[in-house]
Structure 1
Amino acid sequence: MGEAGGISTSNVMRFTGLATGMDTDAMVKKMMAAENIKVEKQKQAKQMLEWKQEAYVGIIKDTKAFNSEFLDILSDADTNMMKSSGYSTSKITSSNENIASATACAGAANGTYKIKVGQIAENAKVQSNDLNSIIPNNIITDKITTGNATEWNDKKLKFELSDGTTKEITISGINDTDTVSDIGSKIQGIINSDVDLAKEITVSDTADGRLKFEALSSDKVTIQDSGNMPPQLANLKDKSILSLSTNTKLSNLGITANSEIKITANGKEFNVKIGADDTLNNFMNNISGAKITEDKKTDSLGNYVTVHYSELTKKLTIETRETGERASLKIEDVTGNIASTLGINKEDQGQNAKVQITPPGEATPVTVEKSSNAFTIDNIQYDLRDKQADVLNSDGTFKDTTEAITLNVTSDTSKTVDKIKKFVEKYNELIDKVNKKISEKKNYKYKPLTAEQKKGMEKDEIKKWDEKVKQGILRNDNYLDGMVSRMRSAFYDSVEDSGISLTEMGLSTSRIYSKKGKIEIDEEKLKKALETRGDQIVDLFTKTSSASDKTTRYKEEGVLSRLKDIINDYTGSEGSLIKKAGYTDTRWVTSNDLSKSIKKYEKTIKDMDKKLYRKQEHYYQMFAKLETYMNNMNAQSNWLYSQLGMGQ
């Protein structure tokens, strides 16, 4: 099938008008013109819906981006406006940041704070022995005597590697004048000449004149009898060495049978089963994955403890995630001997942070205990990093003689002002874009181009034409108008019990109609309000409400909490704009209202095309019959003329 004037036509070659002298194609085209116009109108209507959907999706995307940048409570971005810590009106300098630092939240009093850190909060921790002490990670020869090269040259060493293969080297180049270090270096050089062997083993000399063979891989390497070993290395025959890692099997650590241990973390008991053939990594995973069921709920040990192995210290550490005195940890064998063998059959208790704080204007310090090293008091967020030396007496009280760390809090609203200005700038951009879409006038002279019209136009001309058609496509849109109106009200309506209004902090909604909903800033007024009423500004913006009644919740919520709810109502996963136009990663991506309407147009156009094709074929058949009739008439006329002799 081919396309002609938007109608499917047969590929059969037609010879029309030969008998009648008529231009059949032109006549059929004229007869179909009215029908084609109906189809083009359907295609134009479909195109308008697609462009409308495109315009909606553009606004949804911008609104979601704005929400993500400023209103996502889980975001750690500097632009996050939902966290109270983001409204700091002061900066703090510490005299010893290695011990303690702090961050000022809105409402923090300026001045010098003095702090003594007696102890920091710690988790409960159990640490194993040095696992190198229970693994044959190296083997050492007897004391080496030098000066007899014949005991070394042409002798062989045979190694069984971790994969079961064997490698053999022939020792050469040893001189009578070589030291033990020289001999070790030359053997190492021969080992290095074999790439596979060089990855598995290394040789060095000891301070007391012996050679030490150490494994480099995580699996076993065995020195076998080559039948011609150097006499001074005979004691190494059939000995195996290991390099300790998380892939080391527990059987190589002396765990000879399957075992079970009990770990009690913060009062909850978990049993962990371990096989002798498990690796150290398996063991750690078993600890993290151990589960119990309480009150029909399954809980994992990994929620309470972390476990890790240090390649540096060769120790295994298990510690509670929680810090403070409430954190506790106890490990004991149930069956087998893994806990006692590894040296983790211990118990430990966490400890609270203990500090002494003297606020500005006070002479008497206050002792504070906290379960965490990060805590907030009087709008100062403290961050403890280490304890001070010689700060506590034997009875746990603070020494007067120890010098306190100073935290100087000074006014600095610049960062918060800049943050609010950026928020307002982006908010105004969003509102301006939506307002323009709502108020944009439609040019009714422009309609979507038909395929026939596009044939005689350049790409740039088509693009400019389409832009004219798209103007006003969302004019007076109820959805967008409602969203902007509600967003404007969120700023305009007072927040119950916040103690301050937007006007009092230097923000107001524009009175100019064309800028409806946009925010204007009095920067000097904003700075002063942040300095004197910062905590109230935080409430005004971020206050939340637990009320189930929507009206009550709206009155109690802060401006930005309201704004977040409004944006969610329109562009959340079940938002009205999402249901109207669809969006990626939502269930409405193809089942939205506009997509459904577009599909209806597609079906209508397809049905109309089929009808037009049948009608067009009917017209051609009619003209074909006329041609046949005229051919017959011409033939009869010619015969008659010939019979009457009129053709002579």
Structure 2
Amino acid sequence: MTYIGALSGGYSGGGSSASGINQATYTLGSGLSGLASGVDTDSIVNAMVQAAQVPLVQLLQQRQILQWQEMRYQQVNASLTQLQNTVQSMQLQSTFMAHSVTSSNTSVVTGSATTLAANGTYSVTVNRLAQGATVVSTSPVTANLSTETVGDVNGGNGITLNINGQTLQFSASDTLQSVLSSITSNTATGVSAFADPNTGSVVLQTSSTGGAAKIQVDSQTYAFLSAAFNLGQPQSLTTKDLSAGLAQNTTIQINGQTITLQAGWTAADIAAAVNQYSSTTGVSAQVNGDGTLTLNPYETDSTTGTTYDLLSLISVDDPSGALGLPSYSATDSQRVAQNAEYTINGYTTTSPTNQATYNGLTLNLYSTGSANVTVGTDVDSIVNAITNFVQQYNQTLQLMQGLYNEQRNYDYQPLTAQQASQMTQDQIEKWNEQAQSGMLANDPLLGSIMDTLENDMQLQLSGQTQSTVNGQTVTLNTLASIGITPIDPLTGVSSGATAPGVTTTGWNTYGLLQIDTDQLRAAIQADPQAVMRLFTNNPQISSGSSMGTGVAVQLYNDLSNSIQQLTDEAGSNPNILSEIQTQTSNGTTISGAGLLPYTLIDPNADFSTLFGSDSLDISFLGQQISGMDSEAEDMQQQISDLQQRYQNEFSQMEQAIAQLSTQSSYLSSLFGSSSSSS
């Protein structure tokens, strides 16, 4: 695109008359304006061009106003989208089914609940806590682990260790301390290893809890760890005499693996069942001649022939006592991996961790003992959700009302670059505040959307059942019935109520909402299900229900329609809210809806840069602006052509006058010489 300001020419030398006398050829802007005629032709052309640019300036100002209208629509669109995101959660039953959980003994158990948990009091007894497997040296390690090397233990050679299926390689020069550190840093082993400086013992612990936690190694690893850290293998466990067979069906767990046993099974049958899971448990079963069964802490891979040994104790859970296994000693019981066991309302169950789940209730187990855990409605959470919704609604409607009631100031048109050059930045911003006012004043689309939102807030849910609140029978079928009512523009917010998000007063509060929190809280406490239905009931989902549409469901649908209407009118801009200026350059707050981006009006601007075309913007205003862009480009080209014509005409005039002047001088010289000779 051509810059009009760049179209003024320079002074080109040269040219000749018919008589062969050199002369100057005039070009506009050369600084020799009117050299022949004595007329300031530059000023004349500039004045004529500026006069021709007046319609273009007016068109650009109209375009800026239309663009501001588009931005205000987009601002409302973005605010409605934020409101719809809030309303989306208000359609969900889970928002109104939040639970609070209290414990009579928090040192034993605490809890939290999902929406699936039933309200009530649960009697909880923690029988035992979940724990991981722990292995400790059978005697203190006397070697200096920081200087003793792998080679010192392994005949001068390095070694490859296999722990819980993970391979770790060490050179002969690696210290024993580095072996422990490497086991810990390789999190895939699920084992931490360290030396206790107080006792001299080396300790290996699993990072996970539960009966399935174990420390399993191959034979080479076992031999090395035994020699280096005095780690021994746990003892085998022998059952009672099972010659008579099991009396009843039962289940046992070995290292977290559940094994089902049937009535009548003998030691041989049980051994076969146990050995079927040896690769998982790391335990093999051996039948003895006396009818007993021994569980050994090792198993051999039938494919490779490799033997894997347990360093950790065999974890066996035999709740019925069918196998008659011996009890662990007090010390061993603190080292064997085991599930947590707890009883809730008479039902005993287990968990691999100390965070147990039971029918939507999460129990955090801290110690053995008993406590009552009470699950109730989380009134605070529901009140906060509803308050947040009302605040977002008020902020959105407040923005729309401000734009709708704002007066249009026709005395302030978008600034031209020439005007702005004579103003300070603060004056420019204040001017634009006035110029942008009333872009959507009394706008019918805006008014229609506000009417729809206000009507939704007065919706009455048909078919709602009655509730008893504070001893009175009421029907919670409107927002007003739970304490959410419109603000009275004359008297303002009612005594005892709050108006979240409201910063205006008087008639600008029309349709905005206030909350009587005590009334809202009482309604939720009395009948949370009714409050939930008031917001979330959807006849299209609840087939066969005679109830109407809930407030949040209706509002969400209407917001979708409103957002689409605004998008059709002006498109959408997800970044519009961040583009709006809320403070002036001197730090003062800009009132109203904020200051929109603006471009100073310059008819000489490069329109190819100024007018960015968006092929995806098919909105009504977007197409209008696009049409103005094309019209402005055509006008700028016409003005450029007109300026060029003026330049050519004045150049020709100057050349003609210069030629006449030259010829006159030539004739005068001829007449002068003729007179002299006579």
TM-score, length basis structure 1: 0.56
Q: CA deviation at 1:35?
A: 2.6
Match of 2:410 in 1: 444
Is this contact kept in 1: 2:211–2:339, CA < 8 A?
no
Match of 2:616 in 1: 591
Match of 1:189 in 2: none
Is this contact kept in 2: 1:541–1:558, CA < 8 A?
yes
CA gap of 1:208–1:94, structure 2 versus 1, over 3 A, is: closer
CA gap of 1:528–1:283, structure 2 versus 1, over 3 A, is: closer
Is this contact kept in 2: 1:373–1:385, CA < 8 A?
yes
Instruction: Work out whether 1:493 is the aligned partner of 2:459.
Output: yes
Instruction: Work out whether 1:238 is the aligned partner of 2:246.
Output: no
2:423 to 457, 460, 472: 457
In structure 1, give the amino acid aligned to 2:158: S
Match of 1:386 in 2: 365
Matches of 1:316 and 1:339, distance apart in 2: 24
Matches of 1:485 and 1:531, distance apart in 2: 32
Instruction: Work out whether 1:470 is the aligned partner of 2:497.
Output: no
Matches of 2:390 and 2:675, distance apart in 1: 98
Match of 2:111 in 1: 101
Matches of 2:568 and 2:348, distance apart in 1: 51
CA gap of 1:457–1:556, structure 2 versus 1, over 3 A, is: same
Match of 2:654 in 1: 627
Is this contact kept in 2: 1:582–1:589, CA < 8 A?
no
Match of 1:560 in 2: 552
Q: What secondary structure, in the 3-state scheme, does the structure 1 residue paired with 2:432 have? A: helix
In structure 2, give the amino acid aligned to 1:238: G
Q: CA deviation at 1:440?
A: 1.7
In structure 1, give the amino acid aligned to 2:512: K
Q: Which of 1 and 2 has greater Rg?
A: 2
Is this contact kept in 2: 1:89–1:106, CA < 8 A?
no
1:45 to 43, 62, 85: 62
Matches of 1:97 and 1:85, distance apart in 2: 30
Once the two structures are superposed, the pairs formed by residues 323-342 of structure 1 within 5 Å of their partners are 336=304
1:16 to 12, 15, 33: 33
TM-score, length basis structure 2: 0.54
CA gap of 1:105–1:85, structure 2 versus 1, over 3 A, is: farther
Is this contact kept in 1: 2:210–2:340, CA < 8 A?
no
Matches of 1:637 and 1:555, distance apart in 2: 105
Match of 2:512 in 1: 518
Q: What secondary structure, in the 3-state scheme, does the structure 2 residue paired with 1:632 have? A: helix
- What's the % identity of the aligned pairs? 19
CA gap of 1:320–1:106, structure 2 versus 1, over 3 A, is: closer
In structure 2, give the amino acid aligned to 1:24: T
Is this contact kept in 1: 2:159–2:169, CA < 8 A?
no
Q: What secondary structure, in the 3-state scheme, does the structure 1 residue paired with 2:372 have? A: strand
Once the two structures are superposed, the pairs formed by residues 532-571 of structure 1 within 5 Å of their partners are 532-544=526-538, 546-547=540-541, 556-568=548-560
Is this contact kept in 1: 2:160–2:167, CA < 8 A?
no
CA gap of 1:575–1:383, structure 2 versus 1, over 3 A, is: farther
Q: CA deviation at 1:629?
A: 1.3
Matches of 1:480 and 1:320, distance apart in 2: 65
Give the strand-richer structure, 1 or 2. 1
In structure 1, give the amino acid aligned to 2:436: K
In structure 2, give the amino acid aligned to 1:55: R
String of CA shifts for 1:322-341, please: whole Å, max 9, x gaps. Answer: xxx9x988765795578956
1:576 to 563, 567, 571: 567
Once the two structures are superposed, the pairs formed by residues 69-218 of structure 1 within 5 Å of their partners are 70-71=86-87, 73=89, 82=92, 84=94, 92-96=102-106, 98-101=108-111, 113=121, 115-117=123-125, 210-212=143-145
Unmatched 5+ residue regions in structure 2? 12-28, 171-182, 195-203, 213-251, 259-276, 281-300, 319-337, 466-475, 490-506, 577-612
CA gap of 1:589–1:37, structure 2 versus 1, over 3 A, is: closer
Match of 1:360 in 2: none
Matches of 1:65 and 1:339, distance apart in 2: 63
Deviates more, 1:332-341 or 1:554-563: 332-341
Match of 2:335 in 1: none
CA gap of 1:335–1:580, structure 2 versus 1, over 3 A, is: farther
Instruction: Work out whether 1:424 is the aligned partner of 2:400.
Output: no
Matches of 1:554 and 1:628, distance apart in 2: 94
Q: What secondary structure, in the 3-state scheme, does the structure 2 residue paired with 1:27 have? A: helix
Q: CA deviation at 1:385?
A: 2.3
Deviates more, 1:23-32 or 1:6-15: 6-15
Q: CA deviation at 1:625?
A: 0.4
Unmatched 5+ residue regions in structure 1? 74-79, 134-205, 216-220, 224-232, 253-278, 285-306, 358-365, 391-403
CA gap of 1:609–1:353, structure 2 versus 1, over 3 A, is: farther
1:504 to 446, 468, 481: 481
Is this contact kept in 2: 1:438–1:476, CA < 8 A?
yes
Q: CA deviation at 1:534?
A: 2.4
CA gap of 1:25–1:519, structure 2 versus 1, over 3 A, is: same
Q: CA deviation at 1:463?
A: 0.9
Q: CA deviation at 1:616?
A: 0.5
Matches of 2:95 and 2:107, distance apart in 1: 19
Is this contact kept in 2: 1:88–1:106, CA < 8 A?
no
Match of 1:36 in 2: 53
In structure 1, give the amino acid aligned to 2:528: G
2:44 to 14, 27, 34: 27
Matches of 1:621 and 1:58, distance apart in 2: 50
RMSD: 5.6
String of CA shifts for 1:453-473, please: whole Å, max 9, x gaps. Answer: 212222111111111111111
Matches of 2:141 and 2:348, distance apart in 1: 56
CA gap of 1:26–1:647, structure 2 versus 1, over 3 A, is: farther
String of CA shifts for 1:28-87, please: whole Å, max 9, x gaps. Answer: 23332343112212322332244334434444444444555x4464xxxxxx89564657
Q: What secondary structure, in the 3-state scheme, does the structure 2 residue paired with 1:116 have? A: strand
Once the two structures are superposed, the pairs formed by residues 346-385 of structure 1 within 5 Å of their partners are 356-357=344-345, 373-374=356-357, 382-385=361-364
String of CA shifts for 1:214-253, please: whole Å, max 9, x gaps. Answer: 78xxxxx764xxxxxxxxx7x765233679999963678x
CA gap of 1:637–1:471, structure 2 versus 1, over 3 A, is: same
Q: CA deviation at 1:608?
A: 3.2
Q: CA deviation at 1:25?
A: 2.0
CA gap of 1:617–1:443, structure 2 versus 1, over 3 A, is: same
Matches of 2:83 and 2:375, distance apart in 1: 33
Matches of 2:567 and 2:186, distance apart in 1: 50
Work out the number of aligned pairs and report it: 466
Matches of 1:541 and 1:503, distance apart in 2: 13
Q: CA deviation at 1:451?
A: 1.4
Matches of 2:41 and 2:545, distance apart in 1: 74
Matches of 2:547 and 2:133, distance apart in 1: 57
